Amino acid sequence: MPEVSIIIVNFKGWNRLAKCLDSLAAISDKQLSFEVIIVDNASNDGMLENFQFKYTHFHFIPNTGNNGFANGCNFGAKFAKGEYLLFLNPDTVIEVEAIIGMLTKVRKSKPNSIVSCKQIKEDGSEEKPYGKFLTPSTLTGWLRAINLILSRPEIGVVENNEFSSPDWVSGSVVLISKESYSNIGGWDEDFWMYFEDVDLCLRAREAGGDVILLKNVTVEHNHGGSSRINTHVTTLTKTEVNISRHVYTSKHVRGVKGFYMQTFLMLNNLITGLLPAVLGILFFFIKRMIVGPMIYFSLIKYYFNALQHRTWISPRSVRYRNQFPRSGSFG
């Protein structure tokens, strides 16, 4: 039985996935007992067969559709045999020392803990794979910028030179024991993409676990491999960032505070998105400009559906489609 199952969810990000799998293929069984599971979210471009032929020692599992990140992670976990699960983005490059470093830490951690690590881009610049939970003061980018100006850092308590403990870590690199993954209920499939990692970390903390970001362990992460393929996919993913804030708030914030946050998010999205939408219509002949109105109209449709069905769940999620099969296609 492998010690760790590495689960990767892919959607048409083949070039960067190849680099990721090459880095994993360089790890020998003598260094680490592991398996690699790649869930393809219905790329439907003929590339899956090529990768299956090239990487014969890895497991490729086609999903039933582009069902989102959380669904893909849970789907892959069903086939995992390892004691530990490492959820890894397809646009990462990882070395065995990084995996062993995270494994060493998670073994020493409390049950239901999540371990991640420092992430850098290909050019060596550092990513920011962590943050604070959503509050009225961290709902949007411009509110977080005000926090920085007021010298209120987003990272949590720094324990020592080895690691820090932010509220949440990015789903691009998440290591958790299979038992803990089961204890906290896995990834929440009400999220199609984004904020499912924030939700997972919050539930891990509520179950008594820690969220740990190792400072002396590094993974290369070239962000955006599957989310910037074309104008349509860019619109989908940027829209979903806004939708997922609503999903997260509906699950974890109640009462007057929750009502305020939902209302603020909706008004912020409609007001700040209006100018890009208008400019995109006026300059429709510039391809990148059309993203503005596409996002705006997608959000209006989302808000209409939310009022109609009385749910903030992402309309692209499998759960939404099962619950409201007659709602039609979304995006």
Condensed to tens digits (0 to 9), the pLDDT of residues 94-109 reads 999 999 999 999 999 9
Q: How many CB atoms are closer than 10 A to CB 254?
A: 10
State the chain's mean pLDDT as an integer.
91
The mean pLDDT value for 21-36 works out to 95
* Cβ atoms of residues 279 and 289 within 8 Å: yes
pLDDT of residue 226: 52
Tens of pLDDT, residues 204-255: 999 999 999 999 999 999 876 554 557 887 888 899 999 999 999 999 999 9
Higher pLDDT, 114 or 157: 114
Q: How many CB atoms are closer than 10 A to CB 260?
A: 14
Of 110-124, 174-188, 213-227, 280-294, which range is least confident?
213-227
The mean pLDDT value for 26-47 works out to 94
* Cβ atoms of residues 134 and 161 within 8 Å: no
Rounded Cα distance between 33 and 233, Å, is: 36
Q: Which of 195, 300, 304, 303 is nearest to 251 (CA)?
A: 195
Query: Does 265 have pLDDT greater than 70?
Result: yes
The mean pLDDT value for 121-136 works out to 91
The mean pLDDT value for 22-48 works out to 95
161: pLDDT confidence band, cut at 50, 70 and 90? Answer: confident
Q: Which of 201, 7, 168 is nearest to 86 (CA)?
A: 7
Q: For residues 219-249, b (16+ Cβ closer than 10 Å) or e, as one string?
A: bbbbeebbbebeeebbbbbbbbebbbbbbbb
Tens of pLDDT, residues 289-302: 899 999 999 999 99
